[in-house]
Amino acid sequence: MKDLEGAKLLQVGIKDCSFGEGCTIVEPVNLYGATFGANTFVGPFVEVQKNVTIGSRCKVQSHSFICEFVTVGDDCFIGHGAMFINDLFQEGGPANGDKSKWKSTKIGHHVSIGSNVTMLPVIVCDHVVIGAGAVVTKDITKKGIYAGNPAKLIREL
């Protein structure tokens, strides 16, 4: 194992978060600067960054990543390994910390996001199911079941 001398070691864990009554958090996690509604569950190996709000009675499964500027409504499910993205690499590469280039994501109420879904900065209306492995590249404005890459409506609810 290499010596850490000269390296910068950052440890987060849980820092500067707000939790509603009855939340369950399974460590290890990296949660910082986020807000969680009542009775929300967060599984292990999850990272939720600052400026994120997750509603009440939600479930975030293991190995998910929720970046800055994401809002999740109430009664939502986020499957294992879901990835949220706020940087669209509009200039051919990462924004390198220039948050003015980052975009936000808004997830409505009663939304289920399957395992290994990739969510670009979009708006998703209430009562939507997104199938496992889907890549959501555009706003979802009609309740239904969506799947594929890019995600498309496969059945109305």
Residue-range definition of the domain harbouring residue 138: 14-87+100-156
pLDDT in tens, the chain (157 residues): 466 788 888 888 999 999 999 999 999 999 999 999 999 999 999 999 999 999 999 999 999 999 999 999 999 999 999 999 999 998 889 988 788 999 999 999 999 999 999 999 999 999 999 999 999 999 999 999 999 999 999 999 9
Kindly tell me the burial class for residue 126, based on how many C-beta atoms sit within 10 Å of its own C-beta (0-12, 13-18, 19 or more).
middle
Residue 143 lies in a domain: yes
Measured CA to CA, the distance from residue 75 to residue 93 in angstroms comes to 35
Q: What is the CATH number of the domain that holds 61?
A: 2.160.10.10
Beta bridge partners of 70: 105
The predicted model scores a pTM of 0.93
**Is 48 part of a structural domain of the chain?**
yes
> Is cis: bond before 121, omega within 30 of 0?
no
Q: Is residue 95 part of a domain?
A: no
Please indicate, yes or no, if residue 92 is contained in any of the structural domains: no
Residue 54: closest CA among 37, 29, 41: 37
* Residue 94, domain member (yes or no): no
- Token representation of residue 3: 């010596």
Burial class, 61, CB count within 10 angstroms (exposed 0-12 / middle 13-18 / buried 19+): buried
HSE-CB for 125 with a 13 A CA cutoff: 12
Residue 82 lies in a domain: yes
Whether 123 is in a domain gets the answer: yes
> Which CA distances in Å does 129 have to 12, 65, 68?
32, 19, 22
Quick one: pLDDT at residue 7? 87
pLDDT at 1: 46
DSSP character at residue 87: -
At residue 98's C-alpha, the angle toward residues 97 and 103, to 5°, is: 100
User: Coil, strand, or helix at residue 100?
Assistant: helix
Is residue 109 one of the residues assigned to a domain? yes
Overall domain count for the chain: 1
